[in-house]
Structure 1
Amino acid sequence: MKKVSLIVTLMALAGLVACKPSGSSGKTRVAVIPKGTTHIYWKSVEAGAKKAADELGIEMTFIGPQKEDDRSQQIDLVRNQALQNEAIVLAPLDATALRDASKEVADSGKPVVIIDSSLADSASFITSYVATDNVEGGRIAARRLSEVLGGKGKVAVLRYMQGSASTEDREKGFLEEIKKFPNIEVVSSEQFSGATASTAQDTATNILTRFAEGDALSIQGIFCSNQTNTFGMLQALRGKNVAGKVKFVGFDCDATFLDALKKGEMNGTILQDPVNMGYLSVKTAVAKLRNEAVKPLIDTGATLVTPENLSDEKVAALIKTQVP
């Protein structure tokens, strides 16, 4: 017995025995890697993840890239955190670029739960996809914009960023649904805002300049697909003194959007449930580690917020999770 123990010890020292990563307390460890850490949306995801970790008695690390377009840094984070944790929860910045690193983690036997934005060709190796039904979110936005337009008018769409599956799905859902209204014409859908509010505002300003007609616009409706480009478009509309003169539906939430809804500068925004997303993703990762049954797809819901329902109890409660 002593001889066997000595061999095992020597193998472990040589790195030949796979050791289960754990914290100093011996607790299960899960890393949550968002697209970024500065937006209130990701802070809400973190709050949900922490709630689940506390309930489960595990250690949770929340760490993301400094910029929401830094694919290389996120890839490095996936690989590094996989060495220190037993499971990874990931919101991929790019549906294709993050695939190989994620598959490496899964192939090593560790659960990979994808949140917020899908990963290309990953159904065979990820544990679960926990996210908003983004295509449906885009459809909801299209129906709302058609409603406030009275079913007719010209519309511009400001996209977010190539490779971002969540926003691409929203844009896809919007464009598919808006086709059902024959008297609505999409006259611009090729512009991308980029990852920062500054670039989003610049691109939005260029779109508004393109469709300027004196003090008005030749477009009657606008759709933006995430928090960054919705904010950039709102600032551009205000800068051009045309906020409220065009029907505008965005995505996600911050205090500025709520103010705009109250003022009539926005006609709607689609809210996700990031707290629930963070909570369910960590729960799912740990369930997999404990050999419990998990669902391959978990829809965390999408809610239309309008000036008319801002004070509704359920809407107000959801807003509180995303606006400090």
Structure 2
Amino acid sequence: MKKSYRKWLIIVSSILCLSLLLFLIYNIQTHKEKKVIHMVYIPKLIDETNDFWTALIEGANMAAKDYDIDLVIDGGTNETDYEDQNRRIQNAIDSKADVIAVSPISYTNTTEMVKKVKESGIKLIFVDSGVDEDVADALIATDNFAAGMKMGKFMQQSLDDDSQIAIVSHVKDASTAIDRERGLRAGIGPYEDQIVEVVYCDSNYQKAYRLTKDLLEKYPDLDYIAGLNEYSAVGAARAVDEIQGAVSQRVKVIGFDNSLEQIKFLEKGVFQAIVVQKSFNMGYLAVETALKVLKGENVPPVIDSGSELITKENMYTEQNQKLLFPFFDK
């Protein structure tokens, strides 16, 4: 009887120990699965007056909420200060982030710092722009060359052999500025040599306005101005809109992005067209892609978040209204 009792006691004890072991393994595994992912996103700047960056950051925040990711947004206030951005990247490395997303300010001067991210064993995602080396796990951005070409092809319809063209760009060393200008030049084709000057506003509305005023004075026969981001396009449009009469009617402007002010200029006829980026989608995709990279899933090295050229004639279609007024909806 005692032997039988001991036998059952051993069996029951073994079952209990095995159950406890399985319970502990399950909890450890569940804890691992529920580990909160720490992600840092460092945009070129945080500026509530700029609808592009506001929408992009809103998209990233929504994705972080949907996927339960601890997302920290750490951006400066100057789109040309790559040294400040480099310090923020170093801080993100020091924080032991699981993944760091960056919108590099400089095509060349940010490279060495983002390489440190990978050397630290941290996953790296580029958003909106890149650097001069293939270092990131993925790039989520507008195809800026294609977007610039859309601008150029549209402009070409109104150009002739006597046309004078000026470009108001944003930051000289930014990959977005480089690629959009390349695309625009390819798009206008035979009229490329008629670009009289390219100026850079350093992503400042007022500087873009002043530079455009100078261009209009320097080139009284100027026919077309292309603004390559929200700051440059808005500044150029403000300057052209100020000029009354025949001159303002003759000088055509094409812009990039879709702030409320830009939409008003499009309705008014100051802009002939604007190229709209899908900035909210870009931010959302950046976080979603970062999660896939962390899970070891295969992702395309470059993900085009898309762009559309919108004119006064087609701006009221349902599809384009959604692009112009996204209301930060996923």
Residue 255 (structure 2) aligns with: 250
Counting only pairs closer than 5 Å after superposition, residues 222-233 of structure 1 correspond to structure 2 as: 222-233=225-236
Counterpart in the other structure of 2:319 = 314
Q: Which has the larger helix fraction?
A: 2
Residues 271/152 of structure 1: CA separation in 2 closer, same or farther (3 Å cut): farther
Q: How big is each residue's C-alpha offset from its partner over 1:167-198, in whole Å with a ceiling of 9 and x where there is no partner?
A: 1110111112212x45x752423322222111
The equivalent of 1:236 in structure 2 is: 239
Q: What CA distance in whole angstroms lies between the structure 2 residues aligned with 1:323 and 1:196? A: 24
Please state whether the residue corresponding to 1:59 is helix, strand or coil: strand
2:196 equivalent in structure 1: 188
TM normalised by structure 1 equals 0.85
Checking the alignment, whether the CA contact within 8 Å between 1:193 and 1:204 is kept in structure 2 is no
Check 1:34–1:297 CA distance in 2 against 1; reply closer, same or farther (3 A cut): same
Structure 1 unmatched runs, 5+: 1-24, 213-217
Q: Output the TM-score relative to the length of structure 2.
A: 0.83
Identity percentage of aligned residues = 25
Larger Rg: 2
- Aligned equivalent of 2:55: 44
Report the equivalent of 1:199.
207
Map of 2:116 onto structure 1: 104
Contact 1:145/1:247, CA 8 A, preserved across alignment: no
Which secondary structure does the structure 1 equivalent of 2:216 belong to? helix
1:95-143 CA distance string (max 9 Å, x none): 111111111011111111011112111x2x3100110010111100011
Name the counterpart of 1:58: 69
- Aligned residue in 1 for 2:41: 32
Distance 1:206 1:188 in 2: 13
Deviations 1:47-70 (A, max 9, x none): 111121122111111121121111
SS of 1:200's equivalent?
Answer: helix
Shift of 1:152: 6.6
Deviation at residue 318 of structure 1 after TM alignment = 1.2
**Mapping of residues 1-324 of structure 1, within 5 Å:** 26-38=35-47, 39-84=50-95, 85-121=97-133, 123=134, 125-149=135-159, 153-179=163-189, 181=190, 186-212=194-220, 218-241=221-244, 242-321=247-326
Kindly state the Cα deviation for residue 151 of structure 1 after the two structures are TM-superposed: 8.3
Residue 42 of structure 2 aligns to which amino acid in structure 1? I
Which range is displaced more, 66-75 or 134-143? 66-75
Specify the code of the residue in structure 2 equivalent to 1:81.
A
Are 1:148 and 1:247, in contact at CA under 8 Å, matched by a contact in 2? no
Relative to structure 1, is the Cα distance of residues 146 and 163 closer, same or farther in structure 2, using a 3 angstrom cutoff? same
Root-mean-square deviation (CA, aligned residues, Å) is 2.0
2:156 and 2:187 in contact (8 A); partners too: no
Runs ≥4 residues deviating over 3 A? 148-152
Point out where structure 2 has 5 or more consecutive residues left out of the alignment.
Answer: 1-33
